[in-house]
Homo-oligomer: A and B are copies of this chain.
Amino acid sequence: MERTLVAATTDHVGQEVSVSGWIDARRDMGKIIFLDVRDRSGILQVVVVPQVVGEQGMAIVKDLRPGFVVQVDGLVKARGEKAVNPKLVTGRIEMEAKAVTVLATAQPLPFDATSDLGLDTYLDHLPYTLRTARARAIFKIQGEIIEAFRAFLRGQGFTEFQAPKIVAGSTEGGANVFTIDYFGKPAFLAQSPQFYKQIMVGVFERVFTVGNVYRAELHATTRHLNEYTSMDLEMGFIRDHQDVMRVENDFLAYLVDHVARTCAAELELLRATLPAVPKDIPAVKLREAQEILGKEFGIACIGEPDLEPEHERKLCEWSAKTHGSDFLFVTHFPTSKRPFYTMPDPADPNFTLGFDLLFRGIEITTGGQRIHDHAMLRNNIAKWGLNPDHFAYYLEAFQYGMPPEGGLAIGLERLTAKFLGIENVKEATLFPRDIARIDERLSVS
């Protein structure tokens, strides 16, 4: 018999169907045994009665434990009113088993994965702990976040491209890069697709790419990862950084709508509250933000070149209170603190046309207008203490005509975590890498 998904059995009351899935629970009620069978669509209650499955069938069912993979052929029946379970998609029906086949056995489960495990135990056993309803909800939603990013941008005339991850130099001349042995020569893991997406503006005007990026940071915090997924876009023919902010604002509205539509059950399970996205997300210059921090929170930081994590949290509090917005753009960071390719503000070249987007207490995006003039860019590379000749390949894109352009990057895992109210970004990362772990814990040497 063809397999029927558990959620589709409700269309087959009075008929025999075949379902396959994992045993989620077995409840022995004397002679009758209840099985909860889970597949990707939901959970189905199966009733096993000796008179129907026979002695051989009962022997199979008695050995079943959570984790076993089974095929159950049986009759779909409506439940009595009292037995209806409104929490299940299949709560108005159940299946009376005719035959049970074991497709795969499972060892006794090491612990209850739905209990409060502690992060290390959770991560030590991801191949098992990712099977919980909670983890499945998180990563289903994460998949939809990426899909929304792509679908929105495709609708706006953006073209997708694949960026290389092995690079010959570090993108921004900085530290924190992982070194690869590339046939006896050193190469590096890309910290971002920055140069490639700028090059691609010369090809397609508007481009995006989603992929892994790497930071060899020695941090062990709730917000850092050594390998994460970056959702990047870059667009030509902009007036200034505000055109890029507009695209992000519209994307976020699209995203919230998309996730609400496609992941209602998962959001409910996680008790996640989707953010309201204002038509115009409030934006303040860094200097204004610092004044707010002083006036509203007594934090003296005027003149500092960047925001501390505590500042980001407080500014988000302020934005929520004052503007009813979970989001806040902060613009005009000092030129000296931004990468060499960031466009200075023509009105005050000590500050850039760059921005961060803060969301529920944390920065999830860095973006801005870039320098598109070849001579200016080349000069800036030298000003930053780097050798322009090492950037010849990248610079070629600007040599042969580059429109005014800008872009941004969104950290997928941070966005997922903040979207869903998850404290530690590692819980919103499928297989997180940090200084102490690549799947298994790294031995201390």
Contact = CB atoms under 8 A, between A and B. Distances in A.
Interface string A368-380: 0000111000000
Interface string A54-85: 00000000000001110000000000000000
A125 interface: yes
Contacts of A303: none
A294 interface: no
B165 A146 contact: no
Interface string A143-176: 1001100100010010111111111100000000
A100 interface: no
A167 B438 contact: yes
A246 to B, nearest CB: 13
B401 A69 contact: yes
Contact of A161 (B68, B143, B157, B196): B143
B165 A3 contact: no
A94 B104 CA distance: 69
B20 A403 contact: yes
Nearest to A105: B401
Which of A109, A162, A402 has most chain B Cβ within 10 Å? A162
A179 B182 CA distance: 8
A282 interface: no
A373 B104 contact: yes
A106 interface: yes
Contact of A164 (B105, B142, B403, B430): B430
A393 B165 contact: no
A103 B404 CA distance: 7
Contacts of A150: 147
A17 interface: no
User: How extensive is the interface on chain A, given as a class?
Assistant: 35 or more
A276 interface: no
Interface string A166-199: 1110000000001111111101010000001001
Contact of A212 (B23, B165, B216, B218): B165
B399 A106 contact: yes
Which of A127, A130, A168, A214 has most chain B Cβ within 10 Å? A127
Nearest to A185: B442
Contacts of A185: 442, 445
B164 A143 contact: no
Contacts of A237: 3, 20, 39, 103
A226 B109 CA distance: 40
A373 B167 CA distance: 40
Nearest to A146: B160
Contacts of A302: none
A147 B160 contact: yes
A218 to B, nearest CB: 7
Nearest to A165: B212
Interface string A19-50: 01011000000000000000111000000000
Given A68-B401, A178-B180, A204-B136, A166 B104 contact: no
Interface of A: 3, 5, 20, 22-23, 39-41, 67-69, 103-107, 109, 125-128, 130-131, 135-136, 139-140, 142-143, 146-147, 150, 154, 157, 159-168, 178-185, 187, 189, 196, 199-200, 202-206, 211-212, 214, 216, 218, 226-227, 229, 237, 372-374, 392-394, 396-397, 399-404, 412, 430-431, 433, 435, 438-440, 442, 445
